[in-house]
């Protein structure tokens, strides 16, 4: 079905693996298209409660964009490349109502780090290296990197990382707040799945509302508090709310219908 990615679904978790090991899983046009399609399938699948994105092999999550595809682009083509990529993949991931965890194994550079930052949060293996090297090629991050990196690590650190085009290791990423956890390569997916299982105990409808509310505070001209009030109110009309509150009052485990 896919050329550059593999997917599997097990016990509420959809795993999406970028699988171009010979290119260190670099993002080309086709891979972005396939990721969009796989994410859409997972978002529409009622059995998928959490999505985990990772890279194949031990060396790379995604080592960047496939530069050979756009080295001869014009100004207009460059702008279109960034706009289309953000719409199809990076903004799409950030705004999914299904939680997306990036399990960063090895290099996450350029578009790879931008993909990880678009996920709702990140965990990393101890061999991970992260950076936005675009200025060393005479260009800037175009898939949301200049916006999401400062939101995650602060303006000063983001400016330094972008201007130096340097890489940081997993422990520095943890210290910066860029990743939530660092573990061994062997334990990376098991840890992602353990966190996913904790998420799955809760109401998927409420989680979707929480994602929308948190994201609202990072949108220009949107009052995040107002969005929170609306989403909070909407929760009262859901079957999950009725089940969650009944279960609490009856001192039993909630069985959320996801509606």
Say how far apart CA 17 and CA 234 lie, in whole Å. Answer: 34
Catalytic residue among 30, 58, 77, 114: 114
Rounded to whole angstroms, how far apart are CA atoms 244 and 259?
12
Q: Is 186 a catalytic residue?
A: no
Candidates 43, 134, 186, 243; catalytic one: 134
How many CB atoms are closer than 10 A to CB 219? 10
- Judge residue 208's burial from the number of C-beta atoms within 10 Å of its C-beta, 0-12 exposed, 13-18 middle, 19 or more buried: middle
Whole-number Å distance between alpha carbons of 153 and 204: 28
Whole-number Å distance between alpha carbons of 242 and 197: 22
Q: How far apart are CA 28 and CA 89, in angstroms?
A: 12
In the residue annotation, 114 being an active-site residue is answered as: yes
Strand residues in the chain grouped as ranges (E): 5-10, 13-18, 50-55, 60-62, 100-104, 107-109, 121-125, 129-131, 167-169, 181-183
Active site residues: 114, 134
């Amino acid at each position: 079905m896919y050329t550059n990615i593999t997917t599997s679904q097990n016990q509420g978790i959809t795993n999406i693996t970028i699988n171009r090991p010979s290119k260190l899983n670099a993002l080309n046009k086709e891979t972005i298209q396939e990721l969009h399609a796989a994410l859409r399938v997972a978002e529409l699948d009622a059995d998928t409660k959490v999505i985990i994105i990772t890279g194949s092999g031990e060396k790379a999550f995604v080592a960047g964009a496939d530069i050979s595809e756009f080295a001869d682009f014009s100004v207009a083509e460059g702008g279109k490349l960034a706009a289309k990529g953000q719409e199809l993949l990076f903004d799409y991931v950030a705004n999914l109502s299904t939680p997306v965890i990036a399990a960063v194994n090895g290099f996450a550079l350029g578009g790879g780090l931008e993909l990880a930052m678009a996920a709702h949060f990140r965990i990393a293996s101890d061999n991970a290296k992260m950076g936005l090297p675009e200025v060393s090629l005479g260009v800037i991050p175009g898939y949301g990197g200049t916006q999401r990196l400062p939101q995650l690590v602060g303006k000063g650190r983001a400016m330094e990382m972008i201007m130096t085009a340097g890489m940081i290791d997993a422990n520095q990423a943890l210290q910066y707040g860029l990743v939530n956890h660092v573990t061994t390569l062997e334990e990376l997916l098991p840890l992602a799945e353990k966190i996913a299982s904790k998420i799955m105990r809760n109401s998927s409808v409420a989680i979707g509302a929480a994602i929308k509310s948190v994201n609202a505070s990072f949108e220009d001209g949107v009052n995040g508090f107002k969005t929170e009030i609306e989403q909070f109110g909407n929760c009262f009309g859901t079957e999950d709310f009725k089940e969650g509150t009944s279960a609490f009052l009856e001192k039993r485990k909630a069985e959320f219908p996801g509606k």
